Structure 1
Amino acid sequence: MLFVALSSVAAVPATAQQLAITWDDLPAHGPLPAGETRVAIAQKIITAMQQAKLPPAYGFVNGIQTQNEPASTPVLQLWRDAGLPLGNHTWSHMNLNTNPLADWEQDVTRNEPMLRKYMGSADWRWLRYPYLAEGDTAQKRSAERRFLAGRGYKIANVTMSFSDYLYNEPYARCVAKKDNAAIARLETSYLAAADAAIVYSRSMSKALYGHDIPYVLLMHVGAFDARMLPRLLALYRERGFNFVTLEQAESAPFYKNDLDLSLPSSPDSLEAAMAARGLPLPPAPSPGLDLDKLCR
C-alpha cells in the first residue's frame, strides 16, 4: 500500500494547523526490546501512517547503522517500497558543533551513495542536522551552508519536538522486566509530553507571527514510538492538525533560509527566533516522569 499522492493533501486550507512528520535515525534507533526486530518496528510505523492516511514522510538515514546492525538494512527498502522518501542525517550521526568541518562534510558525502541507491531520481537532498547542531561559530555555519548549497541540499528544520527519543531506552528496560504498570506510565507521559509540545510550539509561533506556521515534527524510529504512533496521530488530529509533507510545510516564509542556503543563516528554531526578538520563552515541556530511573 502506497501513501496518498501529494495532490490529495494540497487542498488543505492555508489557515489550518499543519504538521509535517519526519523520522530520524533510519534504519535503527535506540535499544531493541526483547522480541522486536528493526524491520518489525519500521513496519509498525509505516502501517500506522498508512492507516491514518498521512502524506509521505521523510526518513533521515545514518548509513553506519547498516554496518552496526546489518539486520536493520532492509528497513530502508521497506520504507521506499511504501512510497516514503529518504534524506541525509550524515553517515555516523556526527555533531557539527563538536567536530571539524572537513570531517563533518565527509560524513555527509559518505551517506550519499546509499541515498542514491534507494532513492534513484527522487529527491534525497534534504539534510537533518544530527543533534540539530548547525555549527558552533558563525564562520563554521557559513562554511557548511556553502558546502551544502553546492551539493543542492535543503535543510529539514524542526519546529516541534517532545524528545520522543527519551522513551525508547526505558521502554526496552521495562519490557525486559515485564513491568506493564511502568509501561502504562510511559504511555501516559509520552502523550502528555506531545500535547505540551503542541502548546509550546504554538505559543511561540503566535508570539512571533500572530498565527500558526506549518510545523515540522521530529520523531525517531524507535520501538516505543512505533507502539505509540496510532495514539499519537489521533492526538494531533484531536488538536486540529492536518498532516502535510515536509516540502509543503517548508514552503512557509519561516523556512525560507532552509530552502535557499545561498542566503545568510537565520534563527534555526522558534526558540532562536524568540531570542532574536527578545521575547520570553513559554514553559518548556517536561516528561513529568524520571525516565532515567524507570525500570532500573
Structure 2
Amino acid sequence: MSTGCASAAEQPLQIAITVDDLPVHGPFPKTVTPENVAHEVIAALKAEKVEAYGFVNGYWTARDPSTAKVLQAWKDAALPLANHGWAHRHLSEISAAEFEQELLKNDPVLKPISTGDWRWFRYPYLDEGGSPEKRAASREVLARHGYKIAAVTMDFSDWAWTAPYARCMDSGNVAGVAKLEETFLESARENIGYFRQLSKTVYGRDIPYVLLLHTSAFEGKMLPRLLKLYRDEGFTFVSLAQAEADPAYADQTSPALPAEPQGLERKASAKGPLPSRTDYQPILESMCKA
C-alpha cells in the first residue's frame, strides 16, 4: 500500500529536492565525468519541473577548473545554487573563525552563477558542530551574514550507493548494478514512511519535507525513477523556500533564533524510541569487491 495516500481532509504531501556536493560527488565509473552527471541530473529535474537547489563546494572549481562547467550547466537550466562550505569540512573539526572562512570563500563562486537566493547554507555531513557552543557560534556567523539553514527532513543515505556503483560498473557486474537499483528504490520508499512517522510524532502532521540527495553518477541514472517514486507516493514538488516557510523550520530560516534539536530524528527521540528501518550499509559495502 502506498504510504502517500491521504484523505481529502489532509494537506497534500509536499517535498523540496536538494542536491549536495556540486560540482563533484564521487567516485565515478571510469567512463563518467562530473559534467555527464550534471546533464543527467538536470534533464531529470527539468522533465519533472522540479526547482532543485544545488549546494556547492567551490574548492573543486579551484582544484579542477573544468568542473565549473557543472555549475554553468545548472545556471543555464535556471536551477539555483547555494552554499555547502568551500571544502566540505566537518564543523565539529574546525573553529568558528575557520567556519566563517569556509562560508565566505564560496560567496564569489555563487554570486555570479546562482539564479536564485544563494544565501542558503547546508552543513557538510549535516554536522552542526558537535556541541551546543559550536552550534551557537556557527549560527551566529550565519545570521550575521544573512544566511538561512537548509534543513533536511527526509533522507535515505543515497550517497552510500555511489562507490558500489562505480565498482560494479568498472567490473562489468550487471547483476550487481541491478541489485543496487533495487535496493536504492527500496530504501527511498521505506524512508518515506519512516520520516512521515517522525513528523507526525513531532508535529502531529506531515510537514513539507526537504529531501537530501547527492550529485553522483548513480543519482544521474536513478533520478527519473526516484522522482516518479515520490510522485507515486503522493508528493508534489515544491521549492526549498516554499517548504521551509512552514513554521517547523523557523529556527533554521532564522538562525538568530534559539536552536531546536537538530533534525526530525533528534526531535522525535525526545518523545520515545525511534521506529526501525533497514540498514543497507553492510550489503552495499560488500558489493562488487574482488
Task: Place the TM-score, normalised by the shorter chain, in its bin.
Answer: over 0.9
- Residue type of the alignment partner of 2:73: L
- Residue type of the alignment partner of 1:108: L
The within-5 A match list for 1:49-60 is 49-54=45-50, 56-60=51-55
Corresponding residue of 1:5: none
Give distance in 1, aligned partners of 2:219 and 2:282: 17
Deviation at 1:279, TM superposition (A): 2.0
- Residue type of the alignment partner of 2:129: G
Indicate whether 1:267 and 2:258 are aligned: no
Out of 278-287 and 72-81, give the one that drifted further: 278-287
Unpaired runs of 5+ residues, structure 2, are 1-8
Out of 212-221 and 105-114, give the one that drifted further: 105-114
Deviation at 1:212, TM superposition (A): 0.6
Corresponding residue of 2:211: 217
Indicate whether 1:293 and 2:286 are aligned: yes
SS state at 1:24 partner: strand
* Cα shift readout 1:241-287 (whole Å, capped 9, x = no counterpart): 111000010011110001111111112200111133x3221113422
Give distance in 1, aligned partners of 2:231 and 2:58: 33
- Residue type of the alignment partner of 1:42: A
User: 4+ residue runs of structure 1 moved beyond 3 angstroms?
Assistant: none
Count of residue pairs brought into register by the alignment: 281
The structure 1 residue matched to 2:19, chosen from 19, 23, 34, is: 23
- Residue type of the alignment partner of 2:69: P
The 1:288–1:126 alpha-carbon spacing in structure 2 relative to 1, beyond 3 Å, is: closer
- Residue type of the alignment partner of 1:64: Y
- Residue type of the alignment partner of 1:290: I
Give distance in 1, aligned partners of 2:190 and 2:64: 34
The structure 1 residue matched to 2:226, chosen from 232, 235, 241, is: 232
Give distance in 1, aligned partners of 2:84 and 2:44: 23
Deviation at 1:227, TM superposition (A): 0.3
* Normalised TM-score (structure 2): 0.93
The structure 2 residue matched to 1:112, chosen from 93, 107, 117, is: 107
SS state at 2:163 partner: helix
The structure 2 residue matched to 1:283, chosen from 273, 276, 280, is: 276
Corresponding residue of 1:77: 72
Give distance in 2, aligned partners of 1:228 and 1:48: 9
Give distance in 2, aligned partners of 1:53 and 1:261: 30
Deviation at 1:288, TM superposition (A): 7.2
Out of 132-141 and 165-174, give the one that drifted further: 132-141
- C-alpha RMSD of the superposition: 1.5
* Cα shift readout 1:25-64 (whole Å, capped 9, x = no counterpart): 000101121211111111100101111122x111000011
Deviation at 1:142, TM superposition (A): 1.4
> Would the aligned equivalents of 1:200 and 1:285 in 2 still touch at CA under 8 Å?
no
Identity %: 47
SS state at 1:204 partner: helix
> Would the aligned equivalents of 2:79 and 2:114 in 1 still touch at CA under 8 Å?
no
Corresponding residue of 1:98: 93
> Would the aligned equivalents of 1:197 and 1:285 in 2 still touch at CA under 8 Å?
no
Deviation at 1:71, TM superposition (A): 2.5
* Normalised TM-score (structure 1): 0.91
SS state at 1:118 partner: coil
SS state at 2:30 partner: coil
> Would the aligned equivalents of 1:87 and 1:124 in 2 still touch at CA under 8 Å?
yes
- Residue type of the alignment partner of 1:22: T
Give distance in 1, aligned partners of 2:34 and 2:77: 16
The structure 2 residue matched to 1:166, chosen from 148, 160, 166, is: 160
Indicate whether 1:40 and 2:36 are aligned: yes
SS state at 2:11 partner: coil
Give distance in 2, aligned partners of 1:141 and 1:221: 27
SS state at 1:282 partner: coil
SS state at 1:119 partner: coil
The 1:118–1:288 alpha-carbon spacing in structure 2 relative to 1, beyond 3 Å, is: closer
Corresponding residue of 1:8: none
SS state at 1:292 partner: helix
* Cα shift readout 1:164-186 (whole Å, capped 9, x = no counterpart): 00101110111110110000000
The within-5 A match list for 1:4-19 is 15-19=11-15
